[in-house]
Amino acid sequence: MTEANATARLHVIVEGHVQGVGFRYFVEDVASSYGLLGWVRNRWDGSVEVVAEGPRNFLEQLLASLYRGPRAADVRGVAPEWLPPTGEFKTFSIRTSAS
């Protein structure tokens, strides 16, 4: 298995005008199109949090999409963190907001 295809975990906080603009649905659509597993949720501070696992090259594509977001979004900051995968996810889902 090449490094690009190696399974990885990506944790990202996206800041800006990213709530109320379909951002979570955008992330779910992109992640699902790459076959990634994990979740996305709104956070109390107005940011969006994403955790995804899958082939590193597809996670990098997801990350590139997070910098753009959906048309109505205004992304001001993206903070990615690469971690070892846990294999805990079966799907990619939208979670309820973090308090």
- Token representation of residue 8: 């990885």
Q: Kind of pairing, strands 74-83 and 48-55?
A: unpaired
Only one residue has tokens 């973090």, namely 98
Beta carbons of 9 and 82 less than 8 angstroms apart: yes
Choosing from 41, 42, 56, 68, the catalytic residue is 42
Q: 5, 9, 24, 95: which one is catalytic? A: 24
68 catalytic, yes or no?
A: no
Length of the chain: 99
Our answer to whether residue 5 is catalytic in this structure is no
Residue with structure tokens 């992330």?
A: 27
Which residues carry out catalysis?
Answer: 24, 42
